[in-house]
Structure 1
Amino acid sequence: MLKKLLISLAIIGLLFTTASAAENKMFQTVNPKDATLVKTDSSKEFCNVCGMHLTKFYKTSHVSTFKNGNKEQYCSIHCQAKIHNHHKDKIKSIEVVDTNSLKLINAKDAYYVVGSSKKGTMSAISKYAFLNENEAKTFQKKFGGKIHTFDEALEIAKNSMKKDNTKVDKNRIKMAKKGKKIYAAMCKQDVYPEFNSVGESKKYIIDNNLCKPLKPKMQQAVAIFLYDPVLAANKDKMIKVPNDAKCPVCGMFVSKYPKWVAQIDVKEKHTHYFDGVKDMMKFYFNPEKFEHNHSKNDISKMLVTDYYTLNAIDAKNAFYVIGSNIYGPMGEELIPFKNKKEANSFSKSHFGKKILKFEEIKEELLY
C-alpha cells in the first residue's frame, strides 16, 4: 500500500514539474529578478488569497497597503476584489503592476485593458494595467479588449466573481484530491486547523514545517486541500442539503457550511437540516422551543458529518469531541467522528475536554 502511494506521489510530482515548465511560458510570468515583491514574511512569494506564485502571475499582480501599515500582495484583481469586498474600509492604497515597465503604480492612475486575447488570472476575462494611456491603446490594438479605469475594472471583477469562483473551484478539485494524498503521506496528521484562504493555509504549512520538503505545486495542492477539504470529499457520501434550507434553530442557510451539516428525518419524509451538531441536539431535545412539535419517536434518521472524511454517518453511532479549539459556524461545537480512535486523535491535537457517545450528550451541555 505504501509503495503504491509513493509511486503515485512520484507521478504527481512529475506532473507538477511538467505543469510548472508550461507556466513559465505564460504571458503573466516574469523573471524573479524583475518582480517587486513587497511582503517580508513567509508568504512573500505567493498570493495572500489563492496562494498562487506571484512571479508566475506577476503582470496582473496587485498590492494593498492597509491603514495599519501591513501590506499584502495578490496575483490578480480577482483576488484584490475579494479583499476589497470584506476589508474596503481598512485599505489605505492599492497598487498594480504596469504591464510594460513591471513597476508598481497607483491603481487609481492606471488604464486597464479588459477582455484582451491574453489569458486572465483567476478569471476568464483578462485585465492588464498600464500607466500610460497610449501604451494601453497600443496593447488594445494588438490584443483587443476595452480600456477602463481601476474602479470600473474592479467592478467588472466583482460582477464576474461568482462565475469565476465556480470555474476556479472546478479546477481545484483535482488539486485538492492530490493534496489529500500528499498530506496523508508527507505531512503531520495531528494538525487539521481551519483557514480563511488558500494563502493563509499555505503560510501555516510553511511556518509550522507541517510537511516534508514539497515542490511548489505539491505544496499548493496541500494548501488547497487544507483550506477546503470539501473539494476532495466524495460528494455522494456527504449530506445533500437544498440551497434554500435554513437551520430551524439559528436561521442560517445550511448549505454554506457543508463541513458541519447535520440532519434529522422525521416520519412522512420531512427533513430538518442544521449547521452543526449543537443546533441539531438543541432541536432534538426541545423541538417545541423552535416551533415544532415532533417527538423523539417521530424521528426516523439522524445524520452528522464526520470531521475528517466529511461523509454522512449515523448520529447515534458517532463519537463527539467537546471543548476543542476548533469552532463551527455557531462557535463551540460537538465535533463528530465515525470511531473513537479518530476522536481521540483529534481531541489530543485540539485540546478537547471530553469525548461523548450520543446518549451521553445532555441538553445543559449545549448552552
Structure 2
Amino acid sequence: MLKRFIKKIMGTIALLLTFALVLLPIAGAEAFDGKHPQSGLKPLDENRQMQISPGDRCPVCGMTVIQYPKFNCAIQLKNATTYYFCTTGCMVRSWMHPEIYLGTARDMLERPIVREYFSGQQIDARDAVLVYGSDVIGPMGPALVPLLDERYLTVFKRRHGGKTQVLLKELTDDRWYEMTGKKIAE
C-alpha cells in the first residue's frame, strides 16, 4: 500500500514538473537566464503604443507586466527591441542604467514610454513630469507617477500630495537616492 502511495506521489510530481517545464517558458519565465533579460514578445506598434503580452516580465523585478495596466511602461531600443516594465520606477532604473538592467549600452536606448496618470495615455517619458512621494501606491510600493504637464501636476498634488517632481533628464543616481532613499542599482 505504501509503495502504491509513493508511486502515485512520484507520478504526480513528474506530471507537475513536466507541466511547469512546458508552461513556464510560455509565461515568460525565461526572462531571467542569469545573463540577459528577455525583451517583450512584441515591439511598440506603428503609433508607438505598447503591445504587452501575457508572458512579458519586468526585467528589473520579474513581475508579469500585463497585470498592472495603470502602471506598466516600456523602453524601446534603436533596433526596435522593446522591454516592458511593471511600473515607472523599474523603467526609470533601466533607462538610467541599461547596462545593468537590460544588458545593453546607453546609446542603444531610443524611447521610454509611460502611462500618464489621469488619462492612461501612453506618452514619451521624457515629456512627462514624474512625481514621487504621493499617496499613490503602485505594484512596487510608493509610485513614481507620470503626469502630462504642470497643469496636471497642480491637480495631482492637490489630490494626492507629492514631495518631489522631476523630469527624466534631471534624474541622477544621487537625485534618485534623495527621492526614494534607495540606491538606483539595488
- Aligned partner of 1:362 among 164, 172, 176: 172
Give the unaligned 5+ runs of structure 1: 1-235
Contact 1:305 1:311 in 2 (8 A): yes
Bigger fraction of residues in helix: 1
- Aligned partner of 1:248 among 59, 72, 88: 59
Give the unaligned 5+ runs of structure 2: 1-46
Q: Supply the distance in 1 between the matched residues of 2:72 and 2:55 (Cα, whole angstroms).
A: 14
Contact 2:95 2:109 in 1 (8 A): no
Q: 2:68 is matched by which residue type in structure 1?
A: Y
- Structure index of larger Rg: 1
Q: Supply the distance in 2 between the matched residues of 1:272 and 1:323 (Cα, whole angstroms).
A: 26
Between the two structures, name the one with larger relative contact order (CA 8 Å, sep ≥ 6).
2
Q: Secondary structure at the match of 1:353?
A: strand
Given the alignment of the two structures, is residue 239 of structure 1 paired with residue 47 of structure 2, yes or no? no
- Aligned partner of 1:301 among 89, 111, 115: 111
CA-atom RMSD, angstroms?
Answer: 1.8
Paired residues in the alignment total 131
- Aligned partner of 2:69 among 252, 258, 265: 258
Partner of 1:335: 145
Partner of 2:78: 267
User: TM-score w.r.t. structure 1 length?
Assistant: 0.34
Question: Structure 1 residues 237 and 265, CA, compared in 2 at 3 Å: closer, same or farther?
Answer: closer
Contact 2:70 2:120 in 1 (8 A): yes
Given the alignment of the two structures, is residue 312 of structure 1 paired with residue 125 of structure 2, yes or no? no
Deviations 1:319-364 (A, max 9, x none): 1111001110000121001111102210122121122122222334
Contact 1:323 1:332 in 2 (8 A): yes
Partner of 1:351: 161
Contact 1:266 1:298 in 2 (8 A): yes
Partner of 1:27: none
Q: 1:285 is matched by which residue type in structure 2?
A: M
User: TM-score w.r.t. structure 2 length?
Assistant: 0.65
Q: 1:245 is matched by which residue type in structure 2?
A: D
Given the alignment of the two structures, is residue 285 of structure 1 paired with residue 106 of structure 2, yes or no? no
Q: Supply the distance in 2 between the matched residues of 1:293 and 1:268 (Cα, whole angstroms).
A: 14
